Amino acid sequence: MTRTFNPESYGKLLAEYQPKTIITEEENEAAIRLALTLEHRPNRTPEEDMLLELLLTLIEKFEETHYPIPQGAPNSMLIHLMDAKDVTTEALANVIGSLEVVREIINGDRTISKTQAEALANHFNVDASLFI
């Protein structure tokens, strides 16, 4: 059974949580807490899905502005994301092939292929061009 979107219910959610452009770190943390609550809520309504999507957009905009990813070599971008997301080389082995390949990429001994870049982009939710 497909549930339909109810604008009145969505309006009530917006009135209750009052999402807005995030300006401070405290507002960002509050938005993240709410997004996590919604994300882990079983049987979310379509209106809650819409609110979650809005919150994620607001959080992403704030973080892109306040925590820009520095431009650098593809392997340094990978190392930065691994540090920021607390991802191990072992975890990345499942994403791009083998532990040996991950270590070679991190050490700069191997370039990242287009297929690997796309897999990493999907894993980290970033643009694949960071790794090419």
Q: Is 2's pLDDT higher than 70?
A: no
**1 assigned to some structural domain:** no
One domain, residues 79 and 126 = yes
Q: Considering its fold, how many domains does the chain have in total?
A: 2
| Span 21-71, pLDDT tens digits | 999 999 999 999 999 999 999 999 999 999 999 999 999 999 999 988 666
C-alpha separations of 19 from 44, 67, 76, 93 in Å: 18, 21, 35, 38
Confidence of residue 97 (pLDDT cuts 50, 70, 90): confident
Please report the pLDDT score of residue 130 as a whole number: 87
Provide the residue range defining the domain that includes 86.
74-131
